[in-house]
Amino acid sequence: MDYKRVLYKNSHIEPTIGRIIKLSTINQIFFGNSELFCITGKLELINLNIITKINDIYFMSINKVNEYFEIANNINFNNLLLFPYNYYKAFPTIEISIHFKNMIKIIDDYINYLTLINDHFSNTIKHIIFNNDILNAEVIIVQNDVFIIRFNKINKPLFINFTYDEYSNENFLSIIHSLNKTNFDDIYQYHKKQLLMEDPQKFLITNLERITGDMSFSEMIVNSYLQKNIFDTPIEGICELIQWKNEKSQQEYVIFFIQKYPELVKTYNINDNINYTMTNFQGFNKFLLNLDIKYISWDVKEQINELYYQITHELIRSFELLYENK
């Protein structure tokens, strides 16, 4: 795992400090627990100048992360309130308990099982659980030899329950008992059922986010698709998705589009200084389809064409699945 890429992706620039990341985000990603001080105490981190508080939120400079990981290396990884899957993948030489090794192996086996199935649902479940080499997991319950891992997504999350019982069932996987294909199929069917029981709109957004890689963009497309005559898709938001030749090209295309399709555009005045130009689902489609190499490069146009095809295919297929499993 390229953990530096993970840190960069989840950080932002603070003018007076530099690139920073939330302490809770680091803990959730690398240690499976978003509690602020699950690795060490607040006082130690403050004394070492590792964390800073901004607007009541604790952040860490990217430059201090290695110091934080050095502290983590010295703790006892028998703390069952943690699940250091991503930390272990980034630093496989660290010593972790057999408890964690077994849980990590089970997760890896389930991911491999989903990869082998390679259908619409398995790919979506895998994307929710494990995406870009990062496990999206957090321990939420440790009680009576039951360990519940949550995988967050829009709407209701998915869960895997680990147990020290020898018996595995629909959504309980034994940490000490050897698992087989049937066990993984049981949990796959359980997760599949959870997706199908969702609100159809959330189901569409979840599937589309796997294609686009952007939740906000996916929400915008689905909402626009379901309410085709509602003008709630911002032209500015669509523009941000496109790699223009330059700012002038973007401005020229927006003017061209508005003049060519005035019936597909509405401008709303938010206050005296700000106007928002909105379009509907038909406008969203035409905005992408009318782009040519006058405004963007050929490679970018091909990427947009492919993305448009994937979005259309995913929407149609998702509705087919909802109908088949209604």
Residue 221: what pLDDT?
A: 84
Residue 257: what pLDDT?
A: 93
The length of the chain is: 326
3-state DSSP: the chain helix, strand, coil percent, rounded to 5? Answer: 50, 15, 30
The pTM for the full model equals 0.72
Domain boundaries, the chain: 3-77, 98-195, 200-324
Measure CA 66 to chain center: 24
Taking alpha carbons only, the member of 40, 122, 133 closest to residue 79 is 40
Contact indicator for 35, 25 with CB cutoff of 8 Å? no
Over residues 288-292, the mean pLDDT reads 90
Q: Could you give the CA distance from residue 165 to residue 162 in angstroms, rounded to a whole number?
A: 9
Q: Could you give the CA distance from residue 188 to residue 191 in angstroms, rounded to a whole number?
A: 5
- For 132, which DSSP code? T
Over residues 88-101, the mean pLDDT reads 91
Q: What is the pLDDT of residues 32-55, one digit of tens each?
A: 999 999 999 999 999 999 999 999
> 150 - beta bridge partners?
138, 159
- Dihedral over Cα of 113, 119, 121, 123: its sign: positive
